[in-house]
Structure 1
Amino acid sequence: MSAIIAEPKSFFRADIEGLRALAVLGVIAFHFGVTDLPGGFVGVDVFFVISGYLITKHLLQEMDRRGTVDLLTFYARRARRLLPASIFVILVTLLAGYFILAPSEQQLYSKGALFASTYVINLWLIRWSLDYFAPDANSNPFIHFWSLSVEEQFYLVWPAVLLLFVRVRAGRRSLFIMMAGIAVISFALCAWLTEVSQPWAFYFSPFRAWEFALGGLASMTLSENWAKRSPVSPLLGWLGLGLIMATYLTVSEQDPFPGFIALAPAAGTVMVLLSGLRQSAAGPMRLLAMAPFQWTGKLSYSLYLWHWPVIVYASMLMPDMTVMQRFACLALTFVLSIISYHLVENPIRRNAWLIAGTGRSIGLAAILTVSGAAVAYGNAKFAGRNFSSEQQMIATSAERSSSVRQSDESCVADLQTIKPKFCAFGAPVSDRTVVLFGDSHADHWSTPLIEIAKKEGFRLLTYMKSSCRATRMTTYSTKLRRNYTECDEWREQAMREIIAMKPQMVIISQLSIGHLDEEISDPSEYAARKKQWTEGIGSTVRTLSDAGMEIVYLRDVPTHKSYIDKCVARALWQKRNPSVCDTPRAEAMDEADSKTEREIIARIANARYVDMTDLFCNQTTCQAMIDGKLTFRDRHHIATPYAASLAGPVEQAVFGKERTAKVQPADSNGRKSEAASTAR
C-alpha cells in the first residue's frame, strides 16, 4: 500500500482522500475474503499512482518557490509520517506472534519483521521467491509491508532525481520527457517479467516505478491546465472510477499480475486525479467527498498496517471463520487503526519539537529503524531457544523431502522442463521394472516404493514433473500464470519412453480433480472440466494398458483444511491437542470424484484402482498425527517420516504381498486397528 501523503491545506483535495478510502477498502475486502471483489488487491496500485502524483506535485512546488529541493527536510517529514506507526504495528505483531505462532514460524517471520523495519522486505520476498498470492503467504503477518518498502525506496530516489534536474538547469519539458521515459521502460520490463518471473515484476521497485511516474505525469502543469479547461473532466473522472471498480470486480489472483492488467487501475486513478482538478459537482468529487470516504481515507494508512496481521492471526485461531467473526475482525482493525492514528501517528507527526529540527526527525527515524530491527533479530534468537524435541520433529518432518528428491532434485522436473528424465532405484539390474508416473503426489509415494524395490529386487524408475498430472488434460499453472503447455509436452514424451521400455507395471499418482476446481472462479466451468478430466484419465491409462503393462492407479490422498506442520506446531506451542488440526473425512476426500475414477479404471483392461485412504483417515476423520508422526508435511503431501513407515501396507495394496511390519489404519482416537489397509 502506498503511504499516505498529507497535502498542505492550500491544495487539499477531498477526492484524493476518498480515493485512498476506495483503495484501502478494496485491499481489505480482498484479504478478508470478499469473493465479489476478487481484484481488490489492485488498491495498492491506486495508492502508488496517488503517491507519485502528490510527491511530484510537492517537490515541483518547492522547486518553484525555492529553486531547489531540501532533501533532509523531505526525508524528515516522511519519517515522522510513516515510521512511528509502522514500527508500532511491527512490534505489536511480534508480541502477539509469541502467543500464536510456533517457534519455527516466530523465527521465520521475525526475519520478515527485520526487513520490514529496514524497508527492504520486498527484496527479501524476491529472494524467497514468494508468490504474494500463494497459499503459504496467508500465514506471513508482515508480507503486506512489501508495498511500504517500495514506497520508501521511491521516496529515497525520486527527490534526488528531481534535485539533479534542478542542478543541471533542465526545464519542465525535459522533466516531463524523462518521467515519461521512465514510465515506458519500467512498464515494458514489468509486463515482460510478469510472464517470465512474476515475483520480480510484483515486488521490485524499478518495475513498479511506472505507476509512480504516471502519477507524476498527472501532476505536471500541462496536464493541470488541460484538465481545468476541459468540459469532459467530469466524464473522465467517472470513467476512471469505472476502470478501478471494473478491476475490483473482474481481476483475480489467477490473472498474470501486475503486467498489462495493472494499467487499468493505474490509468483509472490518473483519470480521477485529473478530473478532480476541475471542481465540478458533475464529477466524482461529490461521491468521494462524502463523510464515510473522508473518514476512512484519513485512517487508510493505519487500516492497511493493521488489517493484515488481524486477519492472519484470526485465521490461525479460527480456521473456519464465520461471516460474523470476519466482521468482528474488521471492527478490531478499525479500533486498532483509530488508536494508533490518534495516539501514535498524529502526535508524533505534529510534534512541535520534532518539526522544529530536521535532525531531530532524522534521529528519530534512525532510532525507530534500529529498534525495530534489533527487536526482530532478538525475537528470532529467542524463538530458537523455544524449540522442544516435538517442535524439532515437526520441523524435520516438514523439511525432509521424499527419497527421490533427496537422491537428486532433478528427478522431479521443474515447471520449465520439457524433456523427461527418469531416475532409477532399487536393483541396478533386474528383469522386472516398475515405473512411478505423475506429479509431486507420485513423488511422496517414492519413499515406501524405493524401500520395497530394494527388498524385492526390482528396478523402480520414476517419471515425475512438478505440478504436472499424468491425466491428458491441459491445466493452468498458477505459478506461470498461463496454460501449462510444458506439462503437455513432457507428458507425451514421457509416455512414449515408458511404452518403449515395456515395464511390467506403471503406478500412477497425481493431484486430484478437486484441486483443479479451486483454480477456476466460474462454477459453470466445473462440468466441462470434469468431463476433460475423466476423458484424460481414460486416455492416459488406456494408452499405457494397450501397450501391455499392468496399471495401478492410486487414489489421491486427503487434503487437509490447514497446513499440518504449522497447525500441529502451533497447537503444541499453545498446549492444545494436535487433533484440532484433524479434518473431517467428508471434507478431506471427494467420494463422488473417486467413484468416477474407479469406474473409469474398472473399464480398462490390466488396470487396478488402489485406495489407501485408511492409512490416513478413520471412518470420520483424517488425522494430522498418527503414532506421534505428522501424516502430511503441508496440506496434501505425505510427510517423509510417515511415508517411510508405509512400506508394508503399500506393498500389500499395490503388489498384493504381506509384510511383517506394516502400518495399521487409525481409529477415531488415532490408535491402530487390527486390519491393514488394502486395495479396493
Structure 2
Amino acid sequence: MSSSLKSVTGSPLAPLPYQPYIDGMRALAVLSVLIYHLHGPWLPGGFVGVDVFFVISGFVVSASIAGFKGRGLWQFLGYFYSRRITRIFPALIVCLLVTALFSALFIPAAWLSAVNQQTGFYAFFGLSNFILAQSGRDYFAPATEYNPYTHTWSLAVEEQFYLVFPLLFIAWLVGGRGRKLSAGLFAIGALASIGYAIWTLRSDPVAAFFLAPGRFWELAAGVLLYQCIGQRREQPTARHWDGLALAALLLILLAFILSRSSNFPFPGALLAVAGTLGLIICLHRRPGFMHRVLGWRGLVMVGRISYSLYLWHWPVFVLFRWTCGLETAVTRLAAVALAFLLAFASYHWVENPLRHATLLRRLPKAVTILAGLAAIGLGSWGARLLDEHTASISLSQLSRQPELWYPHGWSANPQRPGCNADPEYRNAEGGLLLIYQARGCQEPLPPASTTLYVIGDSHALAYEGLFKQYAMQTGRTVHAYNNGGCPFISLQPWRDSENPGCLQHIDAALRDLRTRIKPGDILFLPSLRMPRLADQWGVFSDEKVQEQVFSDRAIAGRQRAQADAVEVLREFAAGGVHIILEGPKPLFKAPPFRCADWFSRHNPVCAPGFSLPREELQAYRQPVLDGFAEIARQLPGVGIWDPFPLLCPGAECSAWRDGQPLFLDGDHLSGYGNQLLLPYFIHHLETQAVDEDRKLAP
C-alpha cells in the first residue's frame, strides 16, 4: 500500500477551489436549525439542517484531502487527523468549558438536568450521542431542551465517522481500481447504514436517531458524490442547470418545512439529503445565477461562522430557558444576538488563529495530534472540576442549600450523634431496592422488631429524607422498592396495572417483598394518584386534568383498580401486615425549584404561581379518598395516612411555608417538606400499629 500511495502522489488531484455556494448552503442549514431550536413551530422541519450538514461534510472532507501529497498510510492518517483536530476541537473545547462554567452557575441538579454533565463530559471525546441514546429521551422531547450539550450528538456522529473514513478513502488515493474499491466500500457502508436505521427504528428509535451507524449513509452520500463528480473537469454548460439547482434548493426548503420527527433517520432524512446532493451536483463547476444567490455576502458570512454558531446557539438558548426564559420577543432577540456574538468571537479568535497558525503547520503531524488529545483531556478534566465544585460556585439556592430543597434531606440527626442512614442500593429483579438502616450511631437505638416496607414511584423516593430520619429515630429498617414513573395502586390503571413495563417491575417488587415481610411489619404505599397539574417545564390544561379525574373512563378505571388493589393487598392484610395508603398531597402548577433564584423568578414557567385553593385540590383528591375508603372497608388491616392537612392547613394551599419550600417541583416533596412531616409520620405509624394489634388481639 505504501508503494501504491507513492505512485500517485506525483500527480494527486488538485484540491477544489473555494466555493462560496458551499458556505451559502451551510448558512441555510445552520439558520434552519437555529430557528427550529428557538421556536419549533416557526420551522417545523428545521432540525434537518443537521442532515444537510452531514452531506456537505462528507463532500467537503473528501475534497479537502484528495490533493494529499505524501507517502504511506501512517503519513496519510497523520495528515488527516491533524487537520480534523485543528478544525473541530479548539472551538469545541472552549465552548464546552464555558458551557460547563455557566451550567454550574445557573443550572440546578434535577430530573430535568439529570444527564447534562455526563453528556458534556462525553462530548469532549465525541461520545455524547451514546449518553443521549441511553437516556431514553428522544431529540424531540421537551426535556432535551434543558440539556446544553444535546446538540453535540451530531458532532459525535461526525467524529465517529472520521474514525473509519480514512480507512475507506485511502484506496481512492491509490487511483485506478482503488477508486472503484473505495467507492464500493462507501456504497456498501451506506446500504448497511440504511438497513441498520430501518431495523433499529422499530426497536429503539432514540438510538436510531442519535447513533452513528444509522447516520453513516448521509455522510457517505457526500463522499460518494465527490467520488462521482469531484475528479472531473467539466466546462460550464447550459443555463438549464440553474433551473435544476433552484428545484434542488426548493427541495431542501420543503424539507425544512415539511419534515417531522417520525421515521428518522431513514426515510425521514431522505428529502433533505436528496436536495443537498442535487444542489451540489447542479452547482459544481457550473457558474450561474444560483451561485450568485447562494454566494450572497450575508449568507457566506453566516456560512463561514456556521460551525461556531452551531456550537454556541444551543447552550445559549438552553441557559435562557433555565433563567429568564425564551418565550418572549425580547428574550429571543437577546439570545440570538448573544449566540451570533459568541460565534463571531469563536470564529475570529479560536477557529481561525489555530487553523491557520504557522507553528502548527510546521509541527510534525504526530505532535499536533498528541497536543490535540492532551487539550481534550485537560478540557474534560476542567469540566469535571467545575461540576465537582458546583456547590461552592453556583448562584442557585438549590446548590447552596441542597438539604433544604432536595428530597434526600439531611443525612445526620442532631438527636443521634454519629448516625447516618444513607440508602444501600440493591437490585430486585431489575427494579431498585433502597435499604435505609441507621449505622455509626454513638448511642444505642431503640430495639426494633418490625420493618417498614415501601413500594411506589418517584413520589415514594421523594420521602427519602423522611425515611432516613425515621430509621435513625426509631431504629427500624426501611426497604423501599422504587421505579420512577410506575406508581403502585394509583387507582389509575393505565399508569400501573395496565402498563406492561410498570407491571413487570411491580410483580418483581411483590415477589421480593413476599420473601421478606412478616406479621407486624408495615407496608407503606405512597405514589402519585392524581394527574399532574404541571411538569418541570410547563403547565397542563385544566380540561386535561379534569378528564383524567372525572371522565367516564377515569371512573371506570378507578373501579377496576379498587377491585385489583383488594386482591393484591388481601394476602398481606391476612398475614398480619399493617398496610398504610398515602392520601394525595397538594399539587401545583409551577415548579418552585425553577423559580427560586433572582435570575429565574420572572421565567414564564413561574407565572401560574405556587398556590391553589384547598377546595379545588380537595375536589381532585376526593375520588381517590373514596376509593381508599372502599379498599379499607373490605380489608380491615388497611389504614390511611393523609399528609394533605399538614401541608395545606388553610383555605389556600401553598408550595412554601415560612419562606421555605415544601415542594421541589409541582408535586415532589422537598427536604424541608420531609422534615416537616416526619414527627406526624412517626406518630401515625406507631398509633396505627398499636390500634391494629389491639383489634387482632384475642
Code of the residue aligned with 1:315 in structure 2: it is R
Flag the 1:656–1:543 CA change in 2: closer, same or farther, 3 A: farther
User: CA–CA distance in 2 between the matches of 1:23 and 1:656?
Assistant: 66
1:287-366 alignment, distance < 5 Å: 293-319=299-325, 322-351=328-357, 353=358, 357=361, 359=363, 363=367, 366=370
Code of the residue aligned with 2:531 in structure 1: it is I
Code of the residue aligned with 2:656 in structure 1: it is Q
Which residue of 2 is the match for residue 181 of structure 1?
188
Flag the 1:457–1:113 CA change in 2: closer, same or farther, 3 A: closer
Indicate which of 16, 39, 44 corresponds to 2:50: 44
Say whether 1:374 aligns with 2:374: no
User: CA–CA distance in 2 between the matches of 1:129 and 1:246?
Assistant: 25
Flag the 1:150–1:276 CA change in 2: closer, same or farther, 3 A: closer
Which residue of 1 is the match for residue 560 of structure 2?
539
Which residue of 1 is the match for residue 269 of structure 2?
265
Which residue of 1 is the match for residue 678 of structure 2?
647
The answer to whether the Cα contact below 8 Å between 1:183 and 1:209 also exists between their aligned partners in 2 is yes
Which residue of 1 is the match for residue 423 of structure 2?
406
Deviations 1:630-653 (CA, angstroms, capped at 9, x unpaired): 755677543568536523334678
Deviation at 1:122, TM superposition (A): 4.4
Code of the residue aligned with 2:52 in structure 1: it is V
Q: For 1:466, what is the secondary structure of its paired residue?
A: coil
Deviation at 1:55, TM superposition (A): 2.3
Indicate which of 246, 250, 261 corresponds to 1:238: 250
Say whether 1:12 aligns with 2:33: no
Indicate which of 460, 485, 491 corresponds to 1:467: 485
1:212-291 alignment, distance < 5 Å: 212-221=219-228, 235=247, 238-247=250-259, 250-251=260-261, 260-279=264-283
Say whether 1:208 aligns with 2:232: no
The answer to whether the Cα contact below 8 Å between 1:215 and 1:270 also exists between their aligned partners in 2 is no
Structure 1: tracts of 5 or more residues without a match = 1-6, 416-420, 477-482, 660-680
Q: For 1:514, what is the secondary structure of its paired residue?
A: coil
Deviations 1:526-549 (CA, angstroms, capped at 9, x unpaired): 486664455434432354369988
Which residue of 2 is the match for residue 394 of structure 1?
402
Q: Which moved more, 1:95-104 or 1:644-653?
A: 95-104
Deviation at 1:219, TM superposition (A): 3.6
Deviations 1:498-549 (CA, angstroms, capped at 9, x unpaired): 99x9999984522642379899999899486664455434432354369988
Which residue of 2 is the match for residue 81 of structure 1?
87
Indicate which of 152, 155, 172 corresponds to 1:148: 155
Deviation at 1:303, TM superposition (A): 0.9
The answer to whether the Cα contact below 8 Å between 1:180 and 1:213 also exists between their aligned partners in 2 is yes
Q: For 1:509, what is the secondary structure of its paired residue?
A: coil
Indicate which of 586, 600, 621 corresponds to 1:598: 621
Deviations 1:287-316 (CA, angstroms, capped at 9, x unpaired): 756665444333211211111232233334
Flag the 1:654–1:235 CA change in 2: closer, same or farther, 3 A: farther
Flag the 1:197–1:496 CA change in 2: closer, same or farther, 3 A: same
Flag the 1:463–1:75 CA change in 2: closer, same or farther, 3 A: closer
Deviations 1:205-236 (CA, angstroms, capped at 9, x unpaired): 34432331233334442899999999977655
The answer to whether the Cα contact below 8 Å between 1:233 and 1:278 also exists between their aligned partners in 2 is yes
User: CA–CA distance in 2 between the matches of 1:369 and 1:28?
Assistant: 30
Q: For 1:264, what is the secondary structure of its paired residue?
A: coil
The answer to whether the Cα contact below 8 Å between 1:585 and 1:620 also exists between their aligned partners in 2 is no
Q: For 2:268, what is the secondary structure of its paired residue?
A: helix
User: CA–CA distance in 2 between the matches of 1:392 and 1:146?
Assistant: 31
Deviations 1:486-508 (CA, angstroms, capped at 9, x unpaired): 23566699999999x99999845
Larger radius of gyration: 2
Q: Which moved more, 1:150-159 or 1:580-589?
A: 580-589
Deviation at 1:150, TM superposition (A): 3.0
User: CA–CA distance in 1 between the matches of 2:531 and 2:477?
Assistant: 30
Indicate which of 647, 654, 659 corresponds to 1:615: 647
Q: Cα RMSD over matched residues?
A: 6.1
Q: For 1:221, what is the secondary structure of its paired residue?
A: helix
Code of the residue aligned with 1:28 in structure 2: it is L
Flag the 1:583–1:507 CA change in 2: closer, same or farther, 3 A: farther
Deviation at 1:284, TM superposition (A): 8.4
The answer to whether the Cα contact below 8 Å between 1:303 and 1:337 also exists between their aligned partners in 2 is yes
User: CA–CA distance in 1 between the matches of 2:29 and 2:644?
Assistant: 48
Deviation at 1:158, TM superposition (A): 0.5
The answer to whether the Cα contact below 8 Å between 1:17 and 1:294 also exists between their aligned partners in 2 is yes
Flag the 1:457–1:88 CA change in 2: closer, same or farther, 3 A: closer
Deviation at 1:328, TM superposition (A): 0.7
The answer to whether the Cα contact below 8 Å between 2:33 and 2:49 also exists between their aligned partners in 1 is yes
TM-score (normalizing by structure 1): 0.68
Q: Which moved more, 1:325-334 or 1:387-396?
A: 387-396
Deviation at 1:330, TM superposition (A): 0.9
Work out the number of aligned pairs and report it. 619
User: CA–CA distance in 1 between the matches of 2:116 and 2:581?
Assistant: 42
Q: Which moved more, 1:95-104 or 1:83-92?
A: 95-104
User: CA–CA distance in 2 between the matches of 1:50 and 1:304?
Assistant: 15
Aligned residues with identical type, % of pairs? 23
Deviations 1:241-287 (CA, angstroms, capped at 9, x unpaired): 4234322xx32xxx6xxx64553224422333224422599998887
Say whether 1:487 aligns with 2:475: no
Deviations 1:301-340 (CA, angstroms, capped at 9, x unpaired): 1211111232233334325763311221111111222233
Code of the residue aligned with 1:370 in structure 2: it is A
User: CA–CA distance in 1 between the matches of 2:528 and 2:125?
Assistant: 43
Which residue of 2 is the match for residue 513 of structure 1?
531
Deviation at 1:24, TM superposition (A): 2.0
User: CA–CA distance in 2 between the matches of 1:123 and 1:320?
Assistant: 28
Which residue of 2 is the match for residue 664 of structure 1?
none
Q: Which moved more, 1:150-159 or 1:200-209?
A: 200-209
Flag the 1:645–1:44 CA change in 2: closer, same or farther, 3 A: same
User: CA–CA distance in 1 between the matches of 2:387 and 2:370?
Assistant: 26
Flag the 1:313–1:161 CA change in 2: closer, same or farther, 3 A: same
Deviation at 1:163, TM superposition (A): 0.8
Q: Which moved more, 1:584-593 or 1:454-463?
A: 454-463
The answer to whether the Cα contact below 8 Å between 1:437 and 1:463 also exists between their aligned partners in 2 is yes
TM-score (normalizing by structure 2): 0.66
Code of the residue aligned with 1:184 in structure 2: it is L
Flag the 1:219–1:611 CA change in 2: closer, same or farther, 3 A: farther
Code of the residue aligned with 2:502 in structure 1: it is C
User: CA–CA distance in 2 between the matches of 1:384 and 1:177?
Assistant: 48
User: CA–CA distance in 1 between the matches of 2:80 and 2:475?
Assistant: 73
The answer to whether the Cα contact below 8 Å between 1:411 and 1:422 also exists between their aligned partners in 2 is no
1:621-660 alignment, distance < 5 Å: 621-623=654-656, 631=662, 636-639=667-670, 643=674, 646-650=677-681
User: CA–CA distance in 2 between the matches of 1:454 and 1:67?
Assistant: 69
Flag the 1:525–1:265 CA change in 2: closer, same or farther, 3 A: farther
Code of the residue aligned with 2:328 in structure 1: it is T
User: CA–CA distance in 1 between the matches of 2:464 and 2:101?
Assistant: 41
Which residue of 2 is the match for residue 676 of structure 1?
none
1:427-506 alignment, distance < 5 Å: 438-445=456-463, 448=466, 465-469=483-487, 470-474=490-494, 485-487=500-502
Flag the 1:361–1:153 CA change in 2: closer, same or farther, 3 A: same
